[in-house]
Structure 1
Amino acid sequence: MSEQAEPRPSGGYRRYRLVVDAVVVVAASALLAALGFGGSWRSFSVVSGDIAPWAPMLTAIPAAVFMLTKRRAPWLSLIGATIVFAIDLLTFGGIGPLLVLLDVLWLAAYQASARGRRGLLWGIGIASAALAGWAILLGETDLPLALVVGAQFGVIFATDYWWAVAMAQANELTELHRQRADDAAAAAERDRAAAVRHEREVMARELHDVVAGHVLAMAIRAEAALSTPPDADADRAALRAIRDAGIDAHAALRSMISVLRRGDGDALSTPSLADLPGILADARRAGLDVAFTSSAVVPPPAVAVEQAIVRVVREALANCARHANGAAVAVALDDGVDGVRVRVVSHGGAPAVSGYASTGWGLSMLRERVTALGGEFRAGPTDRGWVVEAIVPREVVAA
């Protein structure tokens, strides 16, 4: 347990507390001396004869000094106060040194570690037994009375000790609950930030995979129509494709807006292997020469794996349509021992839309999807063109 600061009261007393407490002890000792109350512990005194009423002030004033030093050096002050109290006990028997010792003992016990508190407790027990033994050795007190006297001192010091430890433990418990509350608030804030970041990533992927793809498909079909001689049938087919892409993009946007405004619904599209023929047909209409080969994927993989496979094919074909329109593209889907392998290889072609600048987000998001499922992903140039390849385990494995 770490050291603790002594609790301090508020107001003007707080600033001058040490001085005020010391003055009060000295004033109380002086008042008792003036009233003739002295020699409270005469049964322990080794001084013979009468003791002057003002004699206890000789130990009360030095003892009060340790009240001024208790915060900076609590253990040294405790040792000093104990020595002064022992001297007073064996001589004048005043009340001042006892009050000082109790005050300094309280602070030492309050700030002590668990080991230090055990030492103080042993010290209190040994001191109480020593006081009872000393009273017996002096011959002025019989055994039962000596035991009572020792027990009285033990109760006084033990009560002071218990009060300090109880206060310290209460403060420690309060601090522990405060720290736990702060940790819980920090964890909640981290969870909230993570949830917000996750939602932003989901929306970014959806915008890229669906909306951006449809919008760019519209631009590609328009560019193709503008770059060829006017043809009524071809131009109307291009307009129909642009219309269909616009409707799909609008539907995806409405879905995302619904999620953002009301928090319900699902903004994620859920492609499946059954969508591959349509995706391949769209790529051919966009101007790609697509060849597709596939081995049977039996049994069907997990839904998340199936979606990742379809997204890899769709993003790779979309990149070919943007950057290498007219290219020959080979799409292969194989079911292997290490998982489902999808490979898209292209060569030839030319950019479909002039002035289009790629951000590279599509491939990076594909990599995130695949690796999150425990798979492998690579994309890059080859001798003849470009390759996008992913191996996705059948069952979802956290990366």
Structure 2
Amino acid sequence: MIPASVRGWVRAHRSLADAIGYAALAVLACALGLVGVWSLFSVLPEPVSPWWSLATAFPACALVIFRRKAPIPLLCIALVIFVVDLLTVGGVLTLIVVLDLLYAATVTASASTRRRLLIGIALAIVVTTAAALLRADDPRIAVLIGLQLGALAGTDYWYATAVAQANELVVLHRARAEDAERRSALERAEAVRSEREQMARELHDLVAGDVSAIAIRAEAALSIPDAPDADRAALRAVRESSLQAHQALRSMISVLRAGDGEVAARRRGSLPELVADAERHGLTVTLDDALPPRIPSPVDQAVTRIVQEALTNCVRHAAGARVDVGLDADGGEVRVRIDSRGGAPVTAAPVRGSGWGLDLLRERARALGGSVDAGPVDDGWSVRARIPVEVPA
């Protein structure tokens, strides 16, 4: 049983351990007389001592120590040592080192370099077989030598290529997994951002108008001298807006807690109520609703939101204005027209506008394939919207 400390040292110094093992194997081969296996190629006039094979075996073993740093240059050096050994003592160890370095070079090489190594192996086997044919009395010996070298080098190259391709697949799958993880993180971040934008849009749609109305009516009541009737009217308006905001908030909180359902949204049927509320705030509103009885729900909500936001802006910025609201359908699209004339800005606005209202309306309209345009006109403000009746999938 090999001690754990020895196994740990071998794993930490694998190249050095292999070099020492090869050197020990070379000594053992010399002691057993396992040399002269390539006597067919020897150019020496007479056999020499087996121990002379260490002259080529030890330098070849030393190359193994550095095989991880430069396997291909070391392979070329090992081939030179192998040829020298082949033409002299004919040891076994130099061939083993060549096969070791061929494996190391093939595993770490690129696909194009592996193809060049394969061509080099084929040429080396052809040259060796040709040389054996020239030196051997029996051609069968030369063929046998070529087959042996081809089998050894071919098997070594095939196994190293399989390992290299497996490593490449591991790297590829890891890169794909990391890429998929990055995409997943981006998608999660985008989903969170989209959800936050949706929540902000819904909060603005459902609550901002009512809260602004509360603040405006309260400010108006405070700015008027003692007038019991006006105060009670303001309190009633504040109460109604508070109840609407409370109901909207409860609806949204319920959806957020349960994770399903729909947030209560205003529909076209609430337009008269919106008009009445705007008139309570001092506007004079004319509503001309010529839309078909049934339009898609997202379009219905978008139309209502556009009217609601326009009326809220009039209350904030054009107190006492006359507002004309026109809704109709033409050519497969719904058209919204809101024109305000006259009015005066609130001198002490209790709530500052964020400027998000029109931007959110434009986003909602773009999502439905439509558009919203708003801007000043002579003595007033105009909002125009077009939304296709067919909602994009």
Q: Kindly report which structure 2 residues correspond to 1:92-103, keeping only aligned pairs within 5 A, or say none.
A: 92-103=89-100
Q: Kindly report which structure 2 residues correspond to 1:1-399, keeping only aligned pairs within 5 A, or say none.
A: 11-13=8-10, 16-143=13-140, 145-228=141-224, 234-267=230-263, 269-294=264-289, 296-298=290-292, 300-337=294-331, 339-346=333-340, 347-351=342-346, 354-397=349-392
Alpha-carbon distance in 2 for matches of 1:314, 1:109: 73
Letter in 1 for 2:238: I
Alpha-carbon distance in 1 for matches of 2:301, 2:48: 100
Contact 2:326 2:337 in 1 (8 A): yes
Instruction: Give how far 1:292 is off.
Output: 2.7
Instruction: Give how far 1:314 is off.
Output: 0.7
Contact 1:219 1:353 in 2 (8 A): no
Instruction: Give how far 1:354 is off.
Output: 3.5
CA separation of 1:351/1:338 partners in 2, compared to 1, >3 Å: closer, same or farther?
A: farther
With normalisation by structure 1, the TM-score equals: 0.87
Unaligned runs of 5+ in 2: 1-6
Letter in 2 for 1:183: D
Deviations 1:212-242 (A, max 9, x none): 2212222233333444455555544433332
Letter in 1 for 2:73: L
Instruction: Give how far 1:47 is off.
Output: 2.9
SS of residue in 1 equivalent to 2:133: helix
Alpha-carbon distance in 1 for matches of 2:18, 2:302: 76
Alpha-carbon distance in 1 for matches of 2:43, 2:368: 87
Alpha-carbon distance in 2 for matches of 1:232, 1:352: 23
Alpha-carbon distance in 1 for matches of 2:350, 2:381: 21
Contact 1:63 1:81 in 2 (8 A): yes
Q: Which runs of 4+ in 1 moved over 6 A?
A: none
With normalisation by structure 2, the TM-score equals: 0.88
Alpha-carbon distance in 2 for matches of 1:92, 1:302: 94
Alpha-carbon distance in 2 for matches of 1:244, 1:106: 84
Unaligned runs of 5+ in 1: 1-9
How many residues are paired up? 386
Give RMSD over aligned pairs: 2.6
Deviations 1:292-351 (A, max 9, x none): 334x43585433233222211111111111222211222232434483332322232231
Letter in 2 for 1:386: W
CA separation of 1:390/1:11 partners in 2, compared to 1, >3 Å: closer, same or farther?
A: farther
Aligned-residue identity in percent: 49
SS of residue in 2 equivalent to 1:381: strand
